[in-house]
Structure 1
């Protein structure tokens, strides 16, 4: 029996939209791009011509009214994610939304409530969960091959200059929701959580060191997990030698991943503890996966779930664990207190906005 081919539309035709279009094109016909949507109709038209999308619209409302679609790829600036995703859910259309899915926990909870009333689903783009090696690591941990997780480090040390933040919606709480914690490091620590599970407590620090933004340009966190593991997390846009590093120290081995914006199977290394050489043999015995941790891997997983009639990954609940960590890091950094999971309730200012009552440097510049 042949698989269905899902009618897909890309909303927002900026830089990341081409990555989504490439993923659709690489799906082997399981998805088809039937429309491109952008408030700049000329840009949408050029994008549609480049990717052979037959129809162009100036708004999501027009698309949903005039074109039957199964899956919307939401590639607009973060400020628009919540209202546009809500419109998709209310129309019964599944939406795959770029990170961050919303600007706040309150917005994400609104979408979760709308999803509970809809036949459609919300999935967030956290493509690093689906890269080569990640599933192998999770399987081996679940099977007990690695022993208990003990210590982890998660580093996203990138470089973004002032010109990068000249784009009006970047570097502001109201339109981007945060700095590198929200917009850059989120991919790495989401992968961290997909391996180590639920975090329990955060002690955070956020600072504005060099960029003229409203948001932080560097943040750090000390994290404990329900498993008892501990981790340190660094998110920076001030680092000329850019790197993305995850290191997991288990009882029986150290597993490391170093890359920049996407990884392959070759970017993982495993160092067994003395007397635990079987771990390396087990890792090497697993089938090697081609490709990298890009959008095609997650889109394939989304289409697999839709084939089965299930909620596609990354689910709203999965995304909420990651977004709650972001809110907790900011809350800890700005209040000086440790923040436990579940402490940021609906009435908290950090549920409504990631900067809560305001960053310490508020009013000292942009």
Structure 2
């Protein structure tokens, strides 16, 4: 497989863009040639920090003048879909920070734009690519763990009122949802990458403590095509913060507990009686790398070298986005929601809050 050096650019130079810049520079396989931000001063400061030769005031200017091989899209969520579509129409592959769009309808429009383009779109869901997740999927796919039986997926983080003072946070219109959309997505996307297609969800969502329009906590019971069942919790109200996934297979329990990134040290394996071989299998090919943007970008560049769509593909990301829509639909209607049930004409395809959050109905009877 031949490798080339790619021309990369970043649109949006806020907090998460720094992780992207560091991943590009550290890859040794791509050069950061330009950045763009509506705040020209911030863009120039960011460019100077990372030795980027040029900064631009708009996406259109960057695409026209730089012609990058791919763009990292690090703007607030409500700008993801229109800017990603602009990149695709210019024939430039775009790597979109989570969540990729605000709604399922927007996501399908983005997928349709990709189908008309020579370029690709991929969602940044980096925890799929840590060594532990790769090892778990490999052992599961090889049948070494037996059938998956149940799982728990907990994103219990803490975000105070100051966090939500940023104007685009905490609203359906600009962020698309609460911790289900913007925080827990990392963990349950990893859950889906291991357990495969989900089949049905039953959920609750509530606004317990934060002055936001969206939920600040949600919980879901999920069944999978494999027959496995899982509990998914998403919170920004939890003073003791953790990201915890537990997978109970026939032959072992596999767990990871971390906060914003894991190493092998954060994983544990507990074999079922009579299956001590699982511990030895897990111990093969150890790694000291932390899950994060560097491992994800390496997977992206490998795919581009092969002439393939980079991960996480439209098909992968849509499964995760459909789950989010289904969780809200279940929480706000009190019904179980099955995969495929949210069609294009559903209110929950057009807006994640669909028919309206219960607390909004109380405030606006």
TM range (shorter): over 0.9
Shift of 1:290: 2.6
In 1, are the aligned partners of 2:198 and 2:223 still within 8 Å (CA)? yes
Distance 1:161 1:353 in 2: 25
**CA-CA distance at 1:364 after TM superposition:** 5.0
Residue aligning to 1:22: 22
The residue that corresponds to 1:129 in the other structure is 128
CA distance in 2, matches of 1:352, 1:44: 33
Alignment of 1:19-98 (within 5 A): 19-28=19-28, 30-98=29-97
8 Å Cα contact 2:122-2:310 kept in structure 1: yes
Q: How does 1:68-217 map to 2 (within 5 A)?
A: 68-217=67-216
Aligned to 1:354: 352
Q: CA deviation at 1:2?
A: 6.2
Is residue 147–residue 250 contact of structure 2 (8 Å, CA) maintained in 1? yes
8 Å CA contact retained: 2:2, 2:305: no
Please list the CA deviations of residues 106-142 of structure 1 after superposition, one character each: whole Å capped at 9, or x if unmatched. 0110011111111100000000000121111001011
- The residue aligned with 2:310 is 312
1:262 aligned to 2:256?
Answer: no
2:9–2:71 CA contact under 8 A, matched in 1: yes
CA distance in 2, matches of 1:281, 1:24: 35
State the partner residue of 1:342: 340
- Measure the CA separation in 1 of the matches of 2:320 and 2:31: 30
Residue in structure 2 matched with residue 7 of structure 1 by the alignment: 7
> What does the per-residue CA deviation read over 1:166-187, in whole Å, with 9 as the maximum and x for residues that have no partner?
1000000000000000000000
**Whole-Å separation in 2 of the counterparts to 1:141 and 1:128:** 17
Alpha-carbon distance between aligned partners in 2 of 1:136 and 1:216, rounded to the nearest angstrom: 34
**Separation (CA, whole Å) in 2 of partners of 1:161 and 1:45:** 30
Q: State the 1:3 CA deviation.
A: 2.1
Deviation of residue 357 (structure 1)?
1.3
Q: What is the alpha-carbon distance in structure 2 between the residues aligned to residue 123 and residue 64 of structure 1?
A: 18
Contact kept, 8 Å, 2:200 with 2:224, in 1: the verdict is yes
- Secondary structure, in 3 states, of the residue corresponding to 2:63? helix
Distance 2:145 2:280 in 1: 12
Displacement of 1:265 after TM fit? 1.0
Q: TM-score, normalised by structure 1?
A: 0.98
Query: In the aligned structure 1, how far is the partner of 2:298 from the partner of 2:134?
Result: 14
Deviation of 1:291 (Å) = 1.3
Structure 2: runs of 5 or more not aligned: none
Counterpart residue number, 1:273: 272
The answer (yes or no) to whether the contact 1:124–1:319 under 8 Å persists in 2 is: yes
**8 A contact 2:152–2:230 mirrored in 1:** yes
The separation in 2 between residues aligned to 1:297 and 1:186, in whole angstroms, is 18
The answer to whether the Cα contact below 8 Å between 1:200 and 1:225 also exists between their aligned partners in 2 is: yes
Alpha-carbon distance between aligned partners in 2 of 1:265 and 1:178, rounded to the nearest angstrom: 32
Aligned length: 364
Match 2:294 to one of 290, 293, 296: 296
User: 2:360 is paired with a residue of what secondary structure?
Assistant: coil
Distance (Å, rounded) in 2 between the aligned partners of 1:299 and 1:271: 31
In the other structure, the counterpart of 2:331 is 333
Give 4+ residue runs of structure 1 displaced > 2 Å after superposition: 363-366
Tell me the distance in 2 between the aligned counterparts of 1:2 and 1:148.
38
* Structure 1 SS opposite 2:290: coil
1:281 is displaced (CA, Å) by 1.2
Structure 1: unaligned runs, 5 residues or longer: none
Deviations 1:47-66 (A, max 9, x none): 00000110110000001111
| C-alpha separation in 2, matches of 1:355 and 1:68 | 38
In 2, Cα distance between equivalents of 1:125 and 1:179: 18
Whole-angstrom distance in 1 between the partners of 2:214 and 2:352: 10
